[in-house]
Amino acid sequence: MLNGGTRSYYRNVPLQKQRRRRSIFRTVFLFCAGLVLTISGLCLVELVALRWFAPPVTMVQVQRRLGAWARHRPYRKRYVWEPLARIAPDLQHAVIAAEDGRFYQHHGIDWKEVQKVVDQDMEAGRLGRGGSTITQQLVKNLFFTTNRSILRKAVEFTLAPAAELILSKQRILELYLNAIEWGPGVYGAEAAARAWYGIPAARLTRDQAARLAAVIPSPLHRKPERMNAYSSEIERRMGQMGW
């Protein structure tokens, strides 16, 4: 037979376990929240600096270099910065049409697109495309790697609206066009135009611009000359948007 003290001890064991779990959960939550706030704060400081300065390097560029080093593969970085005025308007329009049709309407997060993506994922029963805006993609390229994580998304959703407050739309587009990948080791519209077509970004034709925009979702595997169907779709969207 168990005495009163023993029965009381066994009754309290589940309660103690619950309290321990809550304490662990609270600690983990506070740690993650603090980490998000710390990363966000550091990124905000850099975003302010980016109002005037071009980024010398991005986190995706670092990721690619380290990845090549780890696999013992050669790596050649081509990164040329050009002001927006020297990038063909057709490329600017093609990228917006392809990646973020409501770029000039939203404030960093396109909630209509987010809802659409969530609905599609629920119907498919799986996690699919991200529905990221140009601003979100810029934040990812500048501060994070291409690897998906909940933490990255949390910071991304925090920083994208902040970036829209700190930077103008034209500056965001300028940074984006100069920072993103356009092929293995190719960063920025100028480097892309020269790598794929042997001309400066200012001289890109409408067809060339659409083909380059079609490469953006998978720059390590897609080639402009193979993007016939998608580039035609991008040109159709450009026409619908008045470009």
Token pair 């987010």 is at which residue? 114
Q: What sign does the CA torsion over 184, 218, 50, 66 have?
A: negative
Comparison of pLDDT for 26 and 106, the residue scoring more: 106
Architecture label for domain 53-240? Orthogonal Bundle (1.10)
- pTM tops 0.85, yes or no: no
Instruction: Compute the average pLDDT of residues 199-224.
Output: 97
Domain coordinates in residue numbering, the chain: 1-49, 53-240
pLDDT at 11: 58
Assigned token pair, 92: 């600017």
Alpha carbon distance 14, 55 (integer Å)? 54
Strand 186-187 relative to strand 181-183: parallel, antiparallel, unpaired? Answer: antiparallel
Give 221-243 pLDDT, tens digit per residue.
999 999 999 999 999 999 999 99
- In the chain, beta strands by DSSP E: 78-79, 181-183, 186-187
pLDDT at 41: 75
Alpha carbon distance 96, 103 (integer Å)? 7
pLDDT at 38: 72
Alpha carbon distance 243, 229 (integer Å)? 19
Give 28-82 pLDDT, tens digit per residue.
666 566 666 677 778 888 999 999 999 999 999 999 999 999 999 999 999 999 9
Alpha carbon distance 150, 127 (integer Å)? 12
Instruction: Compute the average pLDDT of residues 89-95.
Output: 98
Instruction: Compute the average pLDDT of residues 200-223.
Output: 97
Long-range contacts of 4-13 (CB under 8 A, 24+ apart): none
pLDDT at 127: 44
Give 124-177 pLDDT, tens digit per residue.
554 444 578 999 999 999 999 888 877 778 788 889 999 999 999 999 999 999
